[in-house]
Chains A and B, each alone.
Chain A
Amino acid sequence: MGKQVMLSIEHYSKSYGEGTKAAEDVSICVECGDIYGFIGHNGAGKSTTIRAVVGVLDFSEGEIYIDGHSVKDEPMACKRVTAYIPDNPDLYENLTGIQYLDFVADVFGISTEEREERIRQYAGLFEITDSLGDLISSYSHGMKQKVAIIAALIHEPKLLVLDEPFVGLDPKAAYTLKEIMHEMCGQGTAIFFSTHVLDVAEKLCNKVAIIKQGKIIASGTMEELTEGHSLEETFLEETFFEKKTKDGGGL
């Protein structure tokens, strides 16, 4: 019996003005326990797809299901089990780190004891416990990213969606995040993330999709996709030479 599907993107398309398609007929399936990498050039349509998944971006064509709920029809049910970490987190700059984390915990109805335990745990791992009492406006990009990560983990989501999560993180924090992702995956959480760092994707992901000019040009398990080559070689081959023309359900 197969694993439970946590995220299912079915024939999703998004166009802007005059028919310019940012994403075209994108289909992806992420199961519980998957770490699914989403790779592509700048402007390929990764963030557009991710923003539609987390309910930020409106779309008209296709369907996106999270834990069996439609993002269009039951957005609240989807958002309750999802956490999103954007590439450039726009947090409330004039709140302190702890005030922001309290806000997110309040929204998800996390009890004081639970939130304290989780914030202590993750803030300790990311080494920002001492800075949580400072205003977010005084944080560096990496520190803001760490606060956004803690905020995402605070309600123990079933689906974690990350857009370029390693940008701006110091090596130690990047390693910690990878460890957390592994641990969550072991507990059955589905992780869907975009990245440019192919080495990270290769080591971390069990499944990958490559997007080019809004279309999925290849997707499947890492072994299926790379066929013994490195992910970098496969990516360059797929995106530059377009030898393979697979989409949707893998090879």
Chain B
Amino acid sequence: MKALWDRSDFVLLRTLFLSTSLRNQYKYCKDRRKRKKIRGAIVGMALLYAMLIGYSFATCIGYGLAGLIDAVPVTCALTICSLAFIMAFFRSNGYLFNFKEYDMLMSLPFEPGKVAACRFLFLYGRLLPWFLSIVLASMVGYGMYAKPSVLVYPLWILLSLLLPVIPMLAAAFLGFLITRASVGFKKKNLIQTILTFAFVFFCFTIRFFLEMLFKDEQVGETMENFSNAMSGAAQFYPPAGWFADVILRYNWLELLLLAGTSILLFALVFAFVGKSYRQINSAMKSHAKARHAGLEVGRQRSVVAAVAYKEWRRMSGSTTYMVNCGIGLLLAVVIGILSCIIGFDKIVALVTNNAPFDPAILYPAIPLICYFVVGMLATTACSPSLEGKNYWIVQSLPIETKVLYQGKMLFNLCLTVPFMLFAILCICVSARVPLVDTLLYLVLGAVLCAFSTAWGCVCGIRHMRLDWENEVEVIKQGAATAIYLLPNMFAVMGLTVLVVFLGTKMDHRLLALAQVLVVLLLALLSYHRVLVLTAKPESQKKKRS
């Protein structure tokens, strides 16, 4: 009988971790600039972990002060499980399939199922520090208020290691099924992207129905209501309930149940995945070639348009890129269509739990609400890094660096402006916003897209990383993406509140005009920064000469 896990599998797993270890890179790298970048990456990561720990700890304190400390274990478990599922689902293509060193690994004596299992454990190991930041901060907060037995702490840590396994396996298996379904088609990337989008929207719908379900059981507008909802959600997802039961009631059986289910599912999933792992990767790595196909020459474009078109081909050829940058755009379409069908006022009532206020006070924030989804991730933030090892192609072309980035920015504008205008227009029509206000909001929407494009480009250029192994590293985990996404998201949330507040004090048109001017100024400043950043090498050349 084959061993479930043998020495060479440990060797592979250890090597996978070593090959992405910042410590290893820092130790052996002789390039001072690279070492500086590694130090920067470590500091950046430490800050993000600190933020996550602080946020989780503050949440626990809130629960403790509200006298709901017993809800912490199940809330923590559900948070970890949701995060694990989402993070693993969006990383399955790239980590589990379609990775760069597939040929090298598969030519070595590893069984396909075990390569898949090692890649899964590698992903688990890479995500674990994020989960542990939340779990350990919650554990400390829980310990401070609940004063549990000392036994709870090792149990909490042990269970935290097991907790992400089941949702990650479910996400990996779904990713596998989507990939498996798409490989039979000629345009497999497109099919994979469509299936992924379909699944994401299915998850949104499920979440919406679950929320509706819990709303029926509401007893009041208090945090206790949230606590009840969490307990209810744990019934739908038993592993979260098992975790809470072990912590609160020392239920050893449920500890064994969680461990046993995780191990059993792991073995089952990878026994199944292993059977068609080689077939899937073969299909993903192979490109059908149409022999005797006619020559189709593209029409002549300007340099900027040619770069923009190249960006479109790059994006449409990658499921990861398409899903991450496209999800916000699709959400904008959904918001727009829903506004037209059920009305903006009803959506507001639904989202705010029928809070007693006039939806008209939200009108000045319509462009910002749309920007929250459309500007979620600008392609310009990750596209400079996505050039990767092919950067030499654009570098060797007789085009100025600024033209290259103008092309990238043009692509992002072409991509985001239509979706932004569509969503704003749909909401304004549905809410019967006056024509002049609507026009101002449309202008503001376009200017916000310009700002997002230019600011994304600044982040992309400043934090460009070309030596990636897997594009997930720059699309999801890149410094440029994080620096663009997080402040942008928090700033929009803050600005929305500010604009709604100011809208109650001043004329909406004046407010919109003021916003247009401020955002335009920021967009111009960001664009100027792009020009400065792209002009740098030229000025250095002049200095040298």
Contacts and interface: CB of A to CB of B under 8 A. Distances in A.
Interface of A: 16-18, 20, 22, 43, 48, 51, 54-58, 75-76, 79-80, 82, 84, 86, 89-96, 99, 103-104, 106-109, 133-135, 137-138, 213
B25 A56 contact: no
16 contacts: A17-B288, A54-B107, A56-B107, A58-B278, A58-B279, A58-B282, A80-B109, A90-B103, A90-B104, A94-B469, A104-B108, A107-B11, A107-B110, A108-B109, A134-B28, A134-B30
B108 A79 contact: yes
B15 A103 contact: yes
A79 B29 CA distance: 33
B106 A55 contact: yes
A86 B28 contact: no
A109 B10 CA distance: 13
Interface stretch (B16-24, B155-163, B404-412, B454-462): B16-24
B286 A107 contact: no
B30 A94 contact: no
Contact of A51 (B30, B103, B467, B469): B103
Contacts of B100: 90
A56 B21 CA distance: 27
Contacts of B11: 103, 106-107
Given A56-B107, A79-B108, A80-B109, A92 B15 contact: yes
Contacts of B282: 56-58
A188 to B, nearest CB: 21
A16 B291 contact: no
Interface string B94-123: 000000111110111111100000000000
A58 B28 CA distance: 37
Given A20-B289, A58-B278, A92 B110 contact: no
B216 interface: no
Contacts of A135: 25, 28-29
Contacts of A58: 278-279, 281-283
Contacts of B107: 54-56, 79, 82, 84, 86
Given A43-B289, A94-B24, 15 more contacts: A16-B287, A18-B288, A56-B103, A56-B282, A57-B278, A58-B278, A58-B283, A75-B112, A84-B107, A86-B107, A94-B20, A95-B15, A95-B19, A103-B12, A109-B7
Contacts of A82: 107
B391 to A, nearest CB: 14
Which residue among B108, B186, B286 has the maximum number of chain A CB atoms within 10 Å of its CB? B108
Nearest to B21: A94
| Interface size of B as a range | 35 or more
B31 A138 contact: yes
B109 A107 contact: yes
B106 A56 contact: yes
A89 B104 contact: yes
B280 to A, nearest CB: 8
A107 B10 CA distance: 9
B111 A92 contact: no
Interface string B258-288: 0000000000000000000011011100111
A36 to B, nearest CB: 18
A95 B24 contact: yes
Which residue among A16, A17, A51, A95 has the maximum number of chain B CB atoms within 10 Å of its CB? A17
B4 interface: no
Nearest to B286: A16
B477 to A, nearest CB: 15
A134 B104 CA distance: 20
B8 interface: yes
A92 B15 CA distance: 9
A58 B282 CA distance: 6
B290 interface: yes
Nearest to A148: B104
Nearest to A48: B286
Interface in B19-77: 19-21, 24-25, 28-31
A7 to B, nearest CB: 14
B14 to A, nearest CB: 8
A91 B18 CA distance: 13
Which residue among B21, B109, B286 has the maximum number of chain A CB atoms within 10 Å of its CB? B109
Which residue among B24, B25, B103 has the maximum number of chain A CB atoms within 10 Å of its CB? B103
Contact of B19 (A43, A92, A104): A92
Contacts of B287: 16
A138 B288 contact: no
A157 to B, nearest CB: 11
Contacts of A104: 108
A108 B107 CA distance: 12
A92 B467 contact: no
A133 B28 contact: yes
Contacts of A108: 109
Contacts of B7: 106, 109
